Structure 1
Amino acid sequence: MKKILVPVDFSAYSEYALEVAAILAKRHGAGIVLLHMIGMSDSVLANSEIAEEAEAKYFLKLAKDKIKEFTEREYLKDVHVATIIQNYKDFNEVNEVAHEQNCDLVVMGSHGTSGFSDLFVGSNTEKVVRSSELPVIVIKKPHKDFTINKMVMACDLSKECIPIYEKAEAYAELFSASLEVVYINSAGANFMGHDDVEKRMESFEKEVGEEIKVDFYNHHSVERGILNYCFEKNADLLVIPTHGRKGLAHFVVGSLAENISNHAKMPVMTIKL
């Protein structure tokens, strides 16, 4: 891992993410790219050129002052930090910045009570998660010692989840953590009998080409099943496949991906299919 992108809005939650990124950067010899998106309103941009320029300079100075404060945090000592400030047009641009800067991972903050809000505005963080081609770790509380010993990946054991598993396995190796895979066997159309469960597990292992620890967890709700399983297993990091606009691959039902990220107390890593 060479670079970690951390989008910040200067809230406490984005600072939680920055501190986690600093811990990871120190452990793995990586640098950090701090990204702040000013997000000037249409009303500002509709002003005269003189007024627009003055307003832009004002917000830019504020952003520069705040981002300078962030870079001077004690926990960033001995970490190489680059800063980027720009006005957004579309939050998909975060993905473009990540690629332009050759980043390997995105770490971002969220308070988790109304979507991915507080980092950026409204559903914009959700857009970042869904559009990011890089893995994204969502952080919602302070972590003075961000140690990952056990990772749990929730998926439907379909073939398209194989690349996700391989990426999760690579991160587990990087973090020196164990990795478990769980399939939530929920009531209704997706419920499977014991024989079907065994066949799906064997097929998944065959596709991966190695023996995998796979658990099947029965629960009436996929969302609650994932969270309960992680709690019972004392997991440190939950890995969830994302599917672009569709969110959670096989699990997709409305805002399930957002709900899990909101309700999970542990850090959540999303990896795009």
Structure 2
Amino acid sequence: MVYQYDLKLKKDVKQSRMNTMRYWLLIVILLSPLGSATSYATIKIGTPAFNPPFEISDTEGFDMDLMRIICRRINEDCKFYPMEKPMLYNALNQRQVDVAIGGFTISETRSIKYIFSLPYIVSNGTFIVLKNQLFTSIKDLAGKKIGVVEGSDYEQFLTEQFGSQYQVVSYQGPIHLMDALEKGEISAVFLDSFARDYWVSYSSGEFTSLGDTVPVGSGMAIMALPEQALLLNRINEQIKLMESDGTYINLYNNYFSN
């Protein structure tokens, strides 16, 4: 009996020690980065090389400033990786960047493969023409060559919705697009309304908008693969906080108040 009691006592002591070790191991895990939200050495952000006013240079633009504020608030470092817009999809797929920002609208087609943050700005498309062409309405563009940025949502929208009405011509980036319009190679361009305001204001009266804006997608958002859901949740929290504390409207007015 004594032997059996002693054996049971040793077993209880061993079990108690194991429970204690498990307890402290759990505490260590909960207090470590592994027990909290995923920590990044640096959040890699893919952006178009030039997409004004959202990406004006490698370091300047509405999107850059928005992401800097978000990264600072979630205590993460950010590094921007500018490239041609069509390359951003491959950069995401190859895990070369964690997220992409730069005129990506929320769409059903894109949502099959990617996830999106909350929309941070509206997405409307519009036409720009040369002022001296004297077009009076969008109807005047029927059968004309309309330029779009290759790989943009506005290329997809115009091709799918109005491809039979226009000759849609794609250009690699907005500089080539606007240069083609200036040279008269195309009759108009179709792009987002914020880009329209930028180009019209910097054209010294050469460009003008034509017709009303039309919704394209469900707003612009930050895009990522589904595996980055936790990161996008953290970003969403900051977007909501920025809207409620006035940070977002201050940033918006800095770029779009005029």
Using CA pairs below 8 Å that are at least 6 residues apart, which structure has the higher relative contact order? 2
Could you tell me the TM-score, scaled by structure 1's length?
A: 0.23
Q: Rg larger in 1 or in 2?
A: 2
